[in-house]
Amino acid sequence: MNHEAQEHGMNMKRAIVTGSSGFIGSFVCHDLLDKGWQVTGIDSMNDYYDVALKRARLARLEARNGFSQIEDKIEAPGVLAALFDQQRPEAVIHLAAQAGVRYSIENPRTYFEANLGGTFELLEAARAHPPQHMLLASTSSAYGANTQMPYRETARADHQMSFYAATKKSCENIAHSYAHIYGLPITMFRFFTVYGPWGRPDMAPFKFTRAILNGDAIDVYNHGDMQRDFTYVTDLVQALGLLIDVAPSLNAPPLENDSLSPVAPFRVLNIGNSETVQLLDFIRAIECTTGKTATQNLMPMQQGDVPATWADASLLRALTGYVPQTDIQTGVTAFVDWYRDFYKA
């Protein structure tokens, strides 16, 4: 790197993105790089799903200037502390977690270690070197048994339905305590069924598309009587990019229906499309794009799952002026096109 490039690098804002080779994490890294940030990612590259897909995402990032990645577990003691000490980031976007509602029933320890242990290590590292803003991923699953739709951030969320959701809600509570004690500005964002190109193979859009293209049957839970607030990945990433500059502050007057804590620079925020899509309509969008009809195995509701999710995104709009709006057919078409290209299907 020449002297001019070194000086430029010193003036660049620095971000740490955990889970940087993941589906959402890789998109977030690209977005930050597009905006001139220096990005350091960390990812364990575990084999929960196809590592080759993670490697392909990483290869695209490593081809870009301003990006570097550490391959390690965030829950490993001292790893994040050393990274924060070296980087002193202005922003942190924490996406690394063991994901998946159903897998948490089979392997709860993985969720305990990665989600709770990893978030603890992150907050300890941030306590030593406080960033200007930390955005930590939570989930719509945190609303659990709450049936008041659309979900509003100020609604009670006390009855999580899966261990995955329980770990993420616990992370919200732990993060609030750190925000209160150490003055760390933290936004916990609850996202709603994110989908799009480079998506995870364990999620319905990927599984349905693969099965339909292969002529295999798909499992449709709760006999298809399910609704989701599907959020296209670049909509989520755009919202996060805008939120980086909207750190919560105790000095800021709260907005209407604000979830801003009365005792900490801490806020919970929904990121969703603010509309529900019937699962059967989502399947029809895949059928329309592929030109093939799905064979459906109608199944009962799975343990830990919820029949519907629906985001109230009015707080996001009030803070950033933005609300995700990619319609389901546009998003599904983009995913199927990517899938066919990537897998030569």
Q: Which residues are catalytic?
A: 164
CA dist 136 and 45 (Å) reads 19
**Which residues, other chains included, contact 177 with Cβ-Cβ below 8 Å and sequence gap of 6+?**
none
In which region does residue 103 sit, left (phi positive, over 0), alpha (psi from -120 to 50) or beta (all else)? alpha
Closest to 78 measured CA to CA, from 125, 14, 126, 16: 125
> What are the b/e assignments for 280-313, b being 16+ CB within 10 Å?
bebbbbbeebbeeebeeeeeeeeebebebbbbbb
Could you tell me how far CA 296 lies from the centroid of its own chain?
29
End-to-end CA distance of the chain: 41
Structural contact between residues 70 and 86, judged by C-beta atoms closer than 8 angstroms: no
Rounded distance, CA 72 to CA 257, Å? Answer: 39
Q: Helix or strand or coil: residue 266?
A: strand
Q: Which of 104, 117, 79, 99 is nearest to 162 (CA)?
A: 104
- Answer whether 288's CB lies under 8 Å from 329's CB: yes
Whole-number Å distance between alpha carbons of 96 and 40: 13
Give ∠ CA 251-94-191 in degrees, rounded to 5.
Answer: 85
- Rounded to 10 degrees, the C-alpha dihedral 7/8/9/15 comes to 140
H helices present in the chain, as ranges: 3-11, 23-34, 51-62, 79-87, 103-106, 108-111, 118-128, 163-182, 204-214, 233-243, 279-290, 314-320, 328-343
Strands 227-228 and 277-278: what pairing? antiparallel
Q: What are phi and psi of 280, to 5 degrees?
A: -65, -30
